[in-house]
Structure 1
Amino acid sequence: MFTEAIEAILRDRATPEAIRAIENGGTPASIWSAVEEAGFLELLTPESAGGAGLSMSAIAPIFRAFGRYAVPVPLAQSIAARALLRDTGVAAPAGTTTLAGACRRREDGSLEAPQVPFGMTCDHVLANVDGDLLLLDAARAERKPCGVHGSLSGTLSWRFDDIPAPLAANGEEVLLFSAAIHAAAIAGAMDRVFAMTLQYCNDRSQFGKSIGKFQAVQHQLSVMAQQVASAGMASELAFSGAGAVPERLATAIAKARTSMAVPLVASTAHALHGAIGVTAEYDLQLFTRRLHEWRMADGSEAFWNRMVGNAALTQEHATIADFVRTAPYGMAA
């Protein structure tokens, strides 16, 4: 029910034309206000506090929808921030809030948050700083764009005097939630990219028949479909736990697997589209650019695969099959 309602808003507001306008400096207020006024920022807020009280598994399709529409505003991050602030006694601030999973302190005491999603446009940043949870005012930060065409990510820096006291010691949950969100966004964007590619292959004719009828093209489409389906299942794993935030190992597997699929899915989509696929006027690049950006966000597959590998090497399960079957869910063999 919530997914369909949100998708109705996104179909109307998060159009390719709107995305291009926002990338060129336009305001995302139309998308943000529509979701905020509908109360959808409180989907993870308990019913006792006026929210919807959704579980992790129920929120996953919504986060995928944000990726499917390449939403250029931190809706998922703002929803997650409310869940992360739940036990701190601090209310979520007005305006957009994004997540920074890996910040570092400089020798002079200042703070740097590299490559923050929506760092160039957000109002606040909920950050992980050495395991502490900090709520930072983005208006006080020095912002540096990442330099990638159309990206809203940026590196933010705060002076020592502008850094507030920690709110709690659950900072690592910011990284996990942010990675899980990006895994879901990758899966959603891949759904869109595959649908666009399949439609193009059915519509484009060569030698008297659609190119989708050629065996070589069908082979590429089938491999692409396998990767998209696998990424979709992996993204759901990150939200399969019963807790209030994504599980650590399940998130690692989800982010690693979805990131691994990005190069093949994006390159195959552009190859099958041919010359039209590399143009700025065609909508495909709105999604493939984000796939590559989200692949690197919060660490690429190399970072998360290392975490999974370390867990497997130190596991107490009898076999690797037992590890795969139970460990991501925090279960005993």
Structure 2
Amino acid sequence: MFAEAIEDILRDQCTPAAVRTIEAGGSPAALWEALAGAGFLDLLLPEDAGGAGLPLPELYPVLAHFGRYAVPLPIGQAIAARALVAPGTSLPAGLLTLAPALRRSADGSIACPLVPFGTLAQHVLAADGDQLLLLSGASAQRSAAGVHHSQVATLTWRDAREAERLPGDAAALAPLAAALHAALLAGAMTRVFEMTLQYCNDRVQFGKSLGKFQAIQHQLSVMAELVAAASMAAEAAFQADGRTPRLLPAAVAKARASEAVVAVANTAHALHGAIGVTEEYDLQLLTRRLHEWRMAHGSEDHWNRIVGERLLAADTSLAEFVRTA
């Protein structure tokens, strides 16, 4: 129900033109209000706290839609943040994102490197050991990633006393962010595959559509396998009873989804040919997000290492570890 309602809003409000406008520095207010104003930020809050009480498995299709439409706002992060803080803890209504890491310097400053949507976030929620910190984007010094239309930025606060400590589950931030970005990647890759398949069926070369050539069919088949595997892993990460995913399934999901990005994006652009690299064509709105979200909160190397460490520490066989992970 919620996924369908959100997709209706995204179809109307998050058009490719709207994405381009926000990426170019236009106001995100209309799109943010369309989603936040409808109450979707509180999806994971219990009903007695004014939320929707959405079970975690039902959050996956919602996040996948955000990826499918290349939503240029941290709406998924804002939803996730409300699951991290203790019940009854209020969070600001503005654009809020999650920091992958927090570093303290000897001069008393705080830095959050490579924050997704850090270029426009009004608030940042970060884990500082076993505590959650809420930081204001208005007082942050932002250093953009330097990539064309990237929304990633490193944020620095000169005075650590500006941070507000919030009660909540700081340890759950990393696995929730990993699962969240795995879902975003799965949704975006699904849309990229659909666009590529449609183009190959429509584009005629040497008297027949590209999709009729065996070499093209092979590339599409591999692409479909990668997207399906990433989607299954991402969905599995949300199969938990609580409000946040478990670490190991989230690690597997982010590793599998991130690993698929390069092959999926490269194949999509290759099969689209010259049109696929143009700024006017919508494919690049998605593939740029794929590369950005691949690195968000750790690439496949980071999460594969966590999975490997868990395997080495487990007192069980590899087959049993895979079955129960």
Q: TM-score per shorter chain, which class?
A: over 0.9
| Contact 2:132 2:167 (8 Å CA) reproduced | yes
| Contact 1:145 1:155 (8 Å CA) reproduced | yes
Aligned runs of 1:114-263 on 2, under 5 Å?
A: 114-168=113-167, 170-263=169-262
Structure 2 gaps of 5+ residues are none
Give the SS at the match of 1:91: coil
Aligned runs of 1:1-333 on 2, under 5 Å?
A: 1-87=1-87, 89-168=88-167, 170-317=169-316, 319-326=317-324, 328=325
Name which of structure 1's ranges 237-246 and 56-65 shifts more when overlaid on structure 2: 237-246
Give the SS at the match of 2:89: coil
Question: Partner amino acid for 2:62?
Answer: I
Q: Distance in 2 between matches of 1:300 and 1:160?
A: 30
Over 3 Å counting, the alpha-carbon distance change for 1:268 and 1:161 in structure 2 is closer
TM-score by length of 2: 0.97
Over 3 Å counting, the alpha-carbon distance change for 1:86 and 1:130 in structure 2 is closer
Alpha-carbon offset, residue 206 of structure 1: 0.6
| Contact 1:45 1:53 (8 Å CA) reproduced | yes
Paired residues in the alignment total 325
Q: Distance in 1 between matches of 2:153 and 2:6?
A: 27
| Contact 1:259 1:300 (8 Å CA) reproduced | yes
Alpha-carbon offset, residue 312 of structure 1: 0.4
Give the SS at the match of 2:147: coil
Alpha-carbon offset, residue 161 of structure 1: 4.8
| Contact 1:136 1:164 (8 Å CA) reproduced | yes
TM-score by length of 1: 0.95
Question: Partner amino acid for 1:122?
Answer: A
Give the SS at the match of 1:264: helix
| Contact 1:120 1:153 (8 Å CA) reproduced | yes
Q: Distance in 2 between matches of 1:245 and 1:101?
A: 16
* Corresponding position of 1:331: none
Name which of structure 1's ranges 209-218 and 165-174 shifts more when overlaid on structure 2: 165-174
Alpha-carbon offset, residue 166 of structure 1: 2.8
Q: Distance in 1 between matches of 2:85 and 2:73?
A: 20
| Contact 1:140 1:162 (8 Å CA) reproduced | no
Over 3 Å counting, the alpha-carbon distance change for 1:95 and 1:144 in structure 2 is same
Alpha-carbon offset, residue 86 of structure 1: 3.1
Over 3 Å counting, the alpha-carbon distance change for 1:312 and 1:161 in structure 2 is closer
Question: Partner amino acid for 2:307?
Answer: V
Q: Distance in 2 between matches of 1:209 and 1:165?
A: 62
Give the SS at the match of 1:166: strand
Alpha-carbon offset, residue 164 of structure 1: 2.6
Deviations 1:168-213 (A, max 9, x none): 3632322221111110000000010000000000000011110100
Runs of 4+ in structure 1 deviating by more than 6 angstroms, as ranges, are none
